[in-house]
Chain A
Amino acid sequence: MHFNIRTFSLQFSINNKPVEAAKKLFENHATVILFFMLSMISIASFLYFLSNHLGVAYNDARSHLDIARRVVENLKPGFAQLGSVWLPLPHLLATLTVWNDTMWHTGLAGALQSMISYVATGILIYRILQALGVTLYGRLVGVIVFALNLNIIYMQSTAMTELLLLGTMTAGVYELIQWHKEEKMTRLLMSGLWIMLSTMIRYDGWFLLFFATILIIIQTMRKHNYKTTEGVVVIFGTLAGFGIFLWFFWNLIIFKDPLYFILGPYAAGTQQQQLADAGVLATKHNLPFSLQTYIYAIFYNSGVFTTILAFIGVILFWFDKKISKELRYAATALLAPFIFNVLSLYLGQSVLFVQGLHGNSWFNVRYGLMMIPSIAVFVGYLTQRVKPVRYVILALLLFVTFFSYVNRDAVTIDDAVFGASGKNVSQVSSWLNQHVPNKPGFVLISVASHDAIIFSSGLPMSRFIHEGTGLYWNAAIAHPVHWARWIILRTGDANDQTYRLLHNNREFKNDYTLTDHYPFADIYEIKPQYVKDLHIKPSLEL
């Protein structure tokens, strides 16, 4: 460094070598560096949302945690508690830690997998962009778009299944892209493995399996012949479809019907049918409205500006002759969640309410999250294509992100706190927390309707008699006075199984008093003179 008197200026040189070395170091150790940075964001945000009690705001998050907990601690523990309402992988993973009360009640048992998935998805976006030949800058922009999205940050701090699904699906797509590039069988098998895991998380994975299979058929037919195609599809399908096979098998052995998850009383289709009957499933058989609904969900989750950039990126990508046809075809897998969600809405298999389009409510708007990794990839790619304005794009993205943080613009939080996806059960659960621990006896409750209450009460799972407790449930429904000191139900609501089974029960009508009444449930307590007849310890042989 020196001062030039003639030009009256300070002058110094920066050697390129350290900059290049740092760049090289980053490229060589991108996974480790990204892992470290994303982990920091992940942990910090989990702690933030834990501190403001938003971590388990979703009703579904509490149910996921309870399902896992019932596997390890319950009147009738065991894997059968996994049930058929949701696909099992998130709960299976949560069972590893949910036995610990802190892990259960902080939601960390479920959030942990979301957090790991968040980190992994960030790294995978980087890798996908690398596979597409995008420069370091574009790769990092892609990671930033994903990692700083407030909805993603919130959802990775909860015990919801979205991030795990994103992680496995993105991994499946990444390996699929690599297979298109390298044609190595290991890549295909890895893709199959990740897609298989995604099929055990949500039905979005099933569609990805279908979509990936078509891509594999096209690719193999283009390069080889029918026989080879047949072989490749069988190998891929056997592995990738194994999860689906297991699910059918599970339904067969537990519920005696391989299609129980489709036809059972708690199946999504059954619930959607109720909504359709009530005339609120407006997307069913209405393709334009299904499209509009899902596009709005994407806008609210990813931001309009980011989505528009990604859309431009998709167009440029598709017509980019520098990218091989194989890669372009393979990358269409990134659009699979879009097709799946629009189709689900159209076929009435899914429900999604966007404020403004469906009255004043939010519900399941988080489905729009599914496109964020794809959006991140295409925005990253776009910066590669519009080099003159690539810094401007990043600046504008950060500008909008800044305001999303300032105003806490996360639709997933709104859905959980104000929308139909969240239930404020704090009053009824506080009552349980204050009155139940000091008195012996069981609480009779339906988990299908009130899992959130069980979770928020802070009581051990073994204090509850519910549908999954077999003989206890049957006995308590037949003679509540022998088994249930408290009964939680929603009076007059036929959807509440406890109410449906008990409302004509003589014991329930005569031997219980309504202790308290809350928006989501009522509390009935046995009359004092019958307490002596109660079973207060688990005594049935299951």
Chain B
Amino acid sequence: MNKWLANKKIKILGYVLFTFFCALVLTLSVRGLPGNPDTSQLNRLTWKDNGPLELSPERGRYALTYAIAETHKFSFSPDLARFAAPDVGFLNGQYVSLFAPTVSFIILPGYLLGKAVGFAQVGSFAVIALFALFNVYLIRSISIKLGAHPLAGLIAGLVFLFATPAFAYAVTLYQHHISTFIILSGIYLLISFDSVWALIGIWMLCALSISVDYPNFFMMLPIGIGALGRTIIAKKQQYGYVVKIPVMRVLALLTMIIPLAFFLWFNNASYGSPFQLSGTVDRSVQINPNGSPVLESEQVKARLKSAGQPAVIPQKSALGAFNSRLIMQGFYIYFFSPDRGIIVYTPVMLFGFAGLFLALKQKLKYTWLLVAVIGFNILLYSMWDDPYGGWAFGSRYLIPSYGVLSIFLAYILTRLSKYNLFLLFFFAIYVYSVSVNTLGALTSNRNPPQVEAVALSKVTGHDEPYTYIRNLNILNSNESKSIVFDTYATNYMSAWNYYSYVMVLIIVVSAFLLMTLKSVTKGVKHAL
């Protein structure tokens, strides 16, 4: 078996088939509707709440892409702003995006290609799916670099893509897969290469990450520190340290200017100042029929005034949104809560944590780097005043951590795949996680946090589910947002059948890979 797998041609064929499999599942799951909608169509429920652009984070980013492609501007027309509301800014008499801009630029080619064949929105979403696929291979590559078996690396990639909420966010338009791609690329470059080119890549990724999503700064921080260690090289000698600072490596730092310049240019063009961040712009929660904004600040002032309080709104601060007091609530939400918790949505990630402890015990190289990324990710978003991520499926903010934890998962799989009981247990949890997350991917991410669901129940008069039961209900009403299902498969099968086929496909391929891993690692003692 080992010999057979070592054959280069078989290997290549294996990877082609694997890529095809992932691409197939993603294609079967990607959300969308055919057509190139204009602003009036976009404002219809079929595209918004009931369609692929169901939540404001998708709409806000898609609106910017649309504005760039169709009007060659960064500002939105009132109709486009209405589509993006309530996450749309109003500044200097213009409607502007409230999101970091790079995602909208990255999906632009997908939008244009899609538009050319009559699938503008699907083309945009497909770019995210492509990044999700890249992430699978990055997880595999990093895992191998850290000593995991290549097959274990692939399985870990599959776990990340299909057994975590990353799946639901691979088939729609969010920043998380691009952020994860940047983080994993940074890690890969740092642990694989020791060259000026690698440093250039890392610094550019660091700078770019901020314009994808501002909090990425903190998750890229450990990678940046690692890169700094490659720039100022201290080697221990008998008498002390020899410090070497290669000039080219220092100059590599300057390449950060390129993505930063783009970011500052965008800020300047959008908000009139290179240093104005989109998150600090006044929000227009609604657009009046005459095109004028309904500003959030005015609403707050009116509320304060009616309560007899001074109508003074403190200035928005980027750091003010993170409060250490919230960590307890954040930890609960991310780990245990029924509406977002890892234990409910992706318990398979617990194997990643187990792998982390194993790696710590074994003093695995670069554990510090991976732990730091996970640590900053979890702590930062635990302090965030909306740890739920608004209406969402699972804990979307932890997707980068799921990526990194998958690397540890590859490690523990390599170490323990010889134990049948472990594999059986792992597989059972994996099947559960895949079934939950396939549900999310094929239906919707519009799951309210528990607190909102309870309040909503009082308004609607009936129970509002807030866990994946909500997604089950969608499936029960024979609905799915997958474009393949909506356009073709719905004529031949029910949504439930469609879901079952997709899930079984994932499980069967994963089971095959796991069995192969077991057979190739049988009796092999890994040098870990």
List residues of A whose CB falls within 8 A of some B CB: 4, 7-17, 19, 296, 299-300, 303-305, 386-389, 391-392, 395-396, 399-401, 403-404, 406-407, 409, 411
Which residue on chain A has the smallest CB distance to residue B331?
A304
The CA of A4 and the CA of B242, in the complex, are separated in Å by 13
A4, A12, A407, A409: the one within 8 Å of B243 (CB): A12
A386: chain B residues at CB < 8 Å are: 360
Contact indicator B241/A399 (Cβ below 8 Å): no
Answer yes or no: B320 CB below 8 A from chain A CBs: yes
Q: Mark B304-336, 1 if CB is under 8 A from A, else 0.
A: 000000000000000110111101100100000
Contact indicator A11/B375 (Cβ below 8 Å): no
Binds A, one of B6-14, B112-120, B283-291, B364-372: B364-372
A404: chain B residues at CB < 8 Å are: 324-325
Which residue on chain A has the smallest CB distance to residue B242?
A13
The CA of A542 and the CA of B61, in the complex, are separated in Å by 82
B246 to chain A, nearest CB (A): 4
Contact indicator B376/A409 (Cβ below 8 Å): no
B332 to chain A, nearest CB (A): 9
Size band of the interface chain B makes with A = 35 or more
Contact indicator A388/B243 (Cβ below 8 Å): no
- Interface of chain B, main secondary structure: helix
B245: chain A residues at CB < 8 Å are: 9-11
Q: A8-B248, A392-B372, A407-B325 are in contact. List 12 more A-B contacts (CB 8 A).
A: A9-B244, A9-B247, A11-B243, A13-B241, A299-B328, A304-B327, A305-B327, A387-B363, A392-B222, A395-B372, A400-B327, A403-B322
Q: Mark B235-264, 1 if CB is under 8 A from A, else 0.
A: 001011111111111000000000000000
A48 to chain B, nearest CB (A): 19
Which residue on chain A has the smallest CB distance to residue B319?
A406
Contact indicator A10/B241 (Cβ below 8 Å): no
Contact indicator A389/B360 (Cβ below 8 Å): yes
A9, A14, A409: the one within 8 Å of B240 (CB): A14
The CA of A11 and the CA of B322, in the complex, are separated in Å by 41
B243: chain A residues at CB < 8 Å are: 11-14
A389: chain B residues at CB < 8 Å are: 360, 367-368, 371-372
Q: Mark B415-455, 1 if CB is under 8 A from A, else 0.
A: 00000000000000000000000000000000000000000
Which residue on chain B has the smallest CB distance to residue A18?
B240
Contact indicator B240/A19 (Cβ below 8 Å): yes
B383: chain A residues at CB < 8 Å are: 400, 403
The CA of A407 and the CA of B248, in the complex, are separated in Å by 41
Answer yes or no: B228 CB below 8 A from chain A CBs: no
Q: Mark B84-107, 1 if CB is under 8 A from A, else 0.
A: 000000000000000000000000
A15: chain B residues at CB < 8 Å are: 239-240
Answer yes or no: B68 CB below 8 A from chain A CBs: no
Decide: A399 near B376, CB < 8 A? Known: A13-B241, A389-B368: yes
The CA of A401 and the CA of B363, in the complex, are separated in Å by 27
Answer yes or no: B379 CB below 8 A from chain A CBs: yes
B134 to chain A, nearest CB (A): 26
Decide: A407 near B320, CB < 8 A? Known: A16-B239, A304-B327, A386-B360: yes
B341 to chain A, nearest CB (A): 15
A134 to chain B, nearest CB (A): 18
The CA of A400 and the CA of B383, in the complex, are separated in Å by 9
The CA of A59 and the CA of B71, in the complex, are separated in Å by 64
Contact indicator B240/A403 (Cβ below 8 Å): no
The CA of A4 and the CA of B241, in the complex, are separated in Å by 17
Contact indicator A407/B240 (Cβ below 8 Å): no
The CA of A79 and the CA of B195, in the complex, are separated in Å by 76
A387: chain B residues at CB < 8 Å are: 363
B237, B241, B248, B368: the one within 8 Å of A388 (CB): B368
The CA of A404 and the CA of B383, in the complex, are separated in Å by 10
B215 to chain A, nearest CB (A): 12
The 10 residue pairs across chains A and B that have the minimum distance between CB atoms = A16-B240, A9-B246, A404-B324, A10-B245, A14-B241, A392-B372, A15-B240, A304-B328, A403-B324, A407-B323
B526 to chain A, nearest CB (A): 19
Contact indicator B324/A400 (Cβ below 8 Å): yes
The CA of A404 and the CA of B319, in the complex, are separated in Å by 11
B371: chain A residues at CB < 8 Å are: 389, 392
A13, A392, A399, A403: the one within 8 Å of B323 (CB): A403
A4: chain B residues at CB < 8 Å are: 244
A396: chain B residues at CB < 8 Å are: 372, 375-376, 379
A411: chain B residues at CB < 8 Å are: 325
Which residue on chain B has the smallest CB distance to residue A307?
B328
Which residue on chain B has the smallest CB distance to residue A404?
B324
Which residue on chain B has the smallest CB distance to residue A385?
B360
Contact indicator B246/A8 (Cβ below 8 Å): yes
A305 to chain B, nearest CB (A): 6
A43 to chain B, nearest CB (A): 25
Decide: A400 near B240, CB < 8 A? Known: A10-B245, A409-B325: no
Contact indicator B242/A399 (Cβ below 8 Å): no
A401: chain B residues at CB < 8 Å are: 324
The CA of A305 and the CA of B328, in the complex, are separated in Å by 8
Show 24 A/B contacts (Cβ-Cβ < 8 Å), sorted by A: A4-B244, A8-B246, A8-B247, A9-B247, A11-B244, A13-B237, A13-B240, A13-B241, A14-B240, A299-B328, A300-B328, A303-B324, A386-B360, A388-B360, A388-B364, A389-B372, A392-B222, A392-B368, A396-B375, A396-B379, A399-B376, A400-B327, A403-B323, A407-B324
